[in-house]
């Protein structure tokens, strides 16, 4: 019986002169790389997004018909017929993506400011106190969460 080619190894040959424990020494093997493409959106989320898009169109049509087409954040009326952003007051995880109770239309810029600005800059916006009042009318817990931003650590490199 043939022995492994690795010095000091007395195991029987498994293939191409090496035992099963030293197959990694072989130079004739092609390295296989397995790349698994990760889905950008899961199939469950994709079905939610289809429903979400349809619900957004219906809600915008209703807002135009009823005249309730104001930005939730700054309370100005929309000047455009195109569908604006939808602000998720309580997040977008799981079923909250489609929860109509916590979805409000917002201007793109207002929406970005609410999500990206620190409290020091938000408090300077003329609409911020009105936004907090509208939030309080919907849910006290959400109001408290937004109000607590005042007490978080402030970054030194913020710019207006």
Alpha-carbon gap, residue 32 to 12, rounded angstroms: 26
> What average pLDDT does the chain have?
85
What pTM value is reported for the model?
0.63
* C-alpha triplet 151, 156, 157: angle, nearest 5°: 130
Alpha-carbon gap, residue 144 to 136, rounded angstroms: 8
For 3-11, what is the mean pLDDT? Answer: 93
Specify the pLDDT at position 112: 92
Alpha-carbon gap, residue 134 to 118, rounded angstroms: 20
- What would the pLDDT profile of 126-148 be if each residue is shown by its tens digit? 999 999 999 899 888 888 888 88
* Backbone dihedral region for residue 14 (phi beyond 0: left; psi -120 to 50: alpha; all else: beta): alpha
Instruction: Identify which of 115, 140, 110, 136 has the alpha carbon closest to the alpha carbon of residue 125.
Output: 110
> C-alpha 140: how far from its chain's center?
24
- What would the pLDDT profile of 58-88 be if each residue is shown by its tens digit? 888 888 888 888 899 999 998 877 888 888 8
Enumerate the domain spans of the chain: 1-35, 43-151
- What would the pLDDT profile of 85-122 be if each residue is shown by its tens digit? 888 888 777 777 777 788 889 999 999 998 888 888 88
Q: In the chain, which ranges are E strands?
A: 85-88, 103-106
- Residue keyed to tokens 């309370």: 75
Instruction: Identify which of 122, 127, 110 has the alpha carbon closest to the alpha carbon of residue 146.
Output: 122
Specify the pLDDT at position 159: 53
- Tell me the percentage of the chain whose pLDDT exceeds 90: 25
């Amino acid at each position: 019986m043939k022995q492994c080619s690795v010095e000091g190894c007395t195991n029987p040959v498994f293939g191409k002169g090496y035992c099963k424990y030293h197959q990694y020494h072989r130079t004739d093997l092609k390295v296989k790389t397995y790349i698994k493409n990760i889905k950008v959106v899961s199939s469950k989320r994709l079905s939610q997004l289809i429903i979400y898009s349809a619900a957004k169109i219906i809600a915008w049509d209703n807002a135009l018909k009823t005249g309730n087409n104001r930005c939730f954040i700054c309370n100005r009326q929309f000047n455009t017929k195109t569908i604006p952003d939808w602000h998720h007051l309580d997040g977008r995880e799981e079923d909250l993506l489609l929860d109509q109770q916590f979805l409000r239309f917002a201007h793109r810029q207002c929406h970005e400011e609410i999500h990206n600005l620190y409290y020091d800059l938000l408090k300077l916006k003329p609409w911020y106190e009105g936004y907090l009042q509208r939030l309080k009318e919907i849910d006290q817990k959400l109001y408290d969460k937004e109000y607590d931003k005042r007490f978080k650590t402030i970054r030194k490199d913020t710019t207006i």
